[in-house]
């Protein structure tokens, strides 16, 4: 009517654009398979480390390979943590850059929710850990801060096949952002010594890599030498070598130089995501998850330690509280409402699921406490906290299964109407 104005109420978790939905669905499928491999690798290591052949597992971890002249004669466990996880963070860096340059998150209104949730989901568990553990154990404050996306999506594939695409996208983006926050934490707080000369020298192969990818070079035999040199120099500097993965990813252009075809970031993501999800993360899990439980009473004794209690509390209390509080604050200050059909219980289920902290949590635990006396404590705590988070999230999300199926049918009908296949069914 004349003289009246209508205001559009902002929505939280409104549906993604179709191109973005197609891309996210493809990522979720690959990460789900990787999550299954991760769980299998972790379970294998745990069984082996508690079998009569436990010593052979420890011997395998300590086998050294690599050129001693370059100070890269590292044991297999270190190669998995410093080398293979650099691939994981390379893919995470590509994903984050693509989201903010060409994805739906280039729109600030879409980006603010998962980014704020990720920040809250890092700060709150750190504070909870310090409140519970504190004292001499304070150096482990960052252990419960990162969500394991592969593990979480493996759980989601079982319990939430019909989960709305907006919630899946939110979980994926949140996990990528807090992985990147975690790498900043590692570089800033877990660098025991810093050698400036190798760190400065790393800029040379990084620049060479950047020039090559910007000129459209995609041949691995041209790119790998400069990428490896950058990684090796960052490793020699004392900064954790996985930082090199993120630095290399940020040099890769997102947009294609032609009107058609995938950009370099999308090309590298498609090439390296299977390697990251299917090899790098499961191998790291295999070399890190093998911890002796010490019999039936071992886990209970380990979990009574302040370090373990702080980690479990951070994952189960701090993580969901931080994510929910940050999301609620965004909704409060922007006057946004949840998208049609969704409720805060859905957000709570995702927030609890984000308490699955495995890959990066184990990495930070090793940086904080090494592989000595505290090794069993933090590993058992990460495993126990992550498993409990998965079970609690299963209960919460299953309560809303009927609602998700109704939303999913609506999304499927829309995709069929637009001539787009249903991408949300698991293969």
Annotate 304-352 with DSSP letters as a single string.
Answer: TSHHHHHHHHIIIIIHHHHHHHHHHHHHHHHT-EEPTT--HHHHHHHHH
Is pLDDT above 60 for 3?
Answer: no
Q: Tell me the pLDDT tens digit for each residue of 86-129.
A: 999 999 899 888 878 877 677 777 788 889 999 999 999 999 99
Q: Give 220-233 as a 3 state SS string.
A: HHHHHHHHHHHHHH
Q: Which of 6-15, 20-29, 178-187 has the highest mean pLDDT?
A: 178-187
Element (H, E) at 423: none
Q: In the predicted model, is pLDDT for residue 333 greater than 80?
A: yes
pLDDT over 80 at 46, yes or no:
yes
User: Whose CA is closest to 231, among 211, 216, 220, 246?
Assistant: 246
d(CA 201, CA 379): 35
Nearest to 378 by CA among 300, 310, 287: 310
- pLDDT, residue 343, reads 85
Rounded Cα distance between 366 and 61, Å, is 14
Residue 422's pLDDT band (cuts 50, 70, 90): very low
Residue, of 68 and 57, whose pLDDT is higher:
57
pLDDT band at 57; cut points 50, 70, 90: very high
Q: What is the mean pLDDT of the chain?
A: 84
Distances (CA, A) of 21 to 16, 125, 169: 6, 30, 8
**Predicted local distance difference test score (pLDDT) of residue 9:** 52
CA distance 114 to 340: 19
pLDDT, position 424: 37
Residue 8 DSSP class = P
pLDDT band at 28 (very low <50, low <70, confident <90, very high): low
Measure the CA–CA gap between 369 and 90, rounded to whole angstroms. Answer: 25
Contact 390, 358 (CB under 8 A): no
pLDDT tens-digit series, residues 225-282: 999 999 999 999 999 999 999 999 999 998 877 766 678 888 898 889 889 988 999 9
Whether 338 shows a pLDDT value over 80: the answer reads: no
């Amino acid at each position: 009517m004349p003289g009246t104005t209508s205001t559009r109420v902002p929505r939280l978790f409104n549906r993604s654009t179709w191109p973005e939905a197609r891309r996210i669905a493809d990522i979720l499928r690959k990460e789900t398979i990787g999550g299954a491999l991760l769980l299998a690798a972790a379970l294998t290591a745990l069984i082996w480390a508690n079998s009569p052949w436990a010593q052979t597992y420890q011997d395998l971890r300590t086998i050294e390979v690599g050129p001693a002249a370059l100070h890269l004669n590292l044991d297999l466990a270190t190669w998995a943590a410093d080398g293979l996880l650099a691939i994981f963070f390379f893919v995470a860096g590509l994903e984050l850059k693509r989201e903010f340059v060409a994805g739906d998150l280039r729109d600030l209104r879409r980006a603010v929710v998962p980014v704020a949730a990720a920040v809250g989901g890092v700060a709150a568990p750190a504070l909870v850990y310090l409140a519970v553990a504190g004292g001499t154990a304070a150096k482990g404050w960052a252990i419960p801060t990162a969500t394991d996306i592969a593990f979480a999506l493996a759980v989601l594939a079982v319990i939430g096949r019909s989960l709305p695409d907006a919630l899946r996208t939110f979980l994926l983006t949140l996990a990528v952002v807090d992985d990147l926050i975690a790498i900043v934490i590692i570089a800033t707080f877990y660098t025991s010594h810093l050698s400036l000369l190798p760190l400065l020298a790393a800029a040379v192969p990084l620049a060479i890599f950047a020039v090559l990818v910007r000129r459209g070079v995609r041949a691995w035999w041209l790119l790998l030498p400069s990428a490896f040199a950058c990684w090796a120099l960052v490793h020699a500097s004392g900064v954790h070598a996985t930082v090199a993965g993120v630095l290399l990813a940020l040099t890769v252009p997102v947009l294609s130089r032609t009107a058609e075809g995938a950009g370099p970031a999308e090309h590298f993501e498609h090439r390296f995501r299977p390697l990251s999800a299917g090899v790098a993360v499961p191998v790291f899990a295999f070399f890190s998850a093998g911890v002796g439980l010490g019999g039936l009473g071992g886990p209970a004794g380990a979990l009574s330690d302040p370090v373990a209690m702080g980690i479990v509390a951070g994952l189960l209390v701090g993580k969901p509280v931080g994510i929910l509080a940050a999301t609620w604050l965004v909704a409060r200050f922007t006057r946004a409402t949840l998208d049609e059909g969704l409720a805060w219980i859905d957000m709570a289920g995702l927030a609890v699921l984000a308490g699955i902290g495995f890959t990066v949590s184990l990495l930070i635990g090793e940086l904080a406490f090494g592989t000595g006396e505290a090794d069993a404590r933090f590993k058992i705590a990460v495993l126990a906290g992550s498993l409990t988070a998965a079970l609690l999230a299963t209960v919460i999300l299953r309560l809303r299964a009927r609602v998700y199926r109704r939303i999913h049918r609506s999304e499927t009908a829309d995709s069929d109407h637009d001539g787009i296949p249903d991408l949300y069914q698991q293969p």
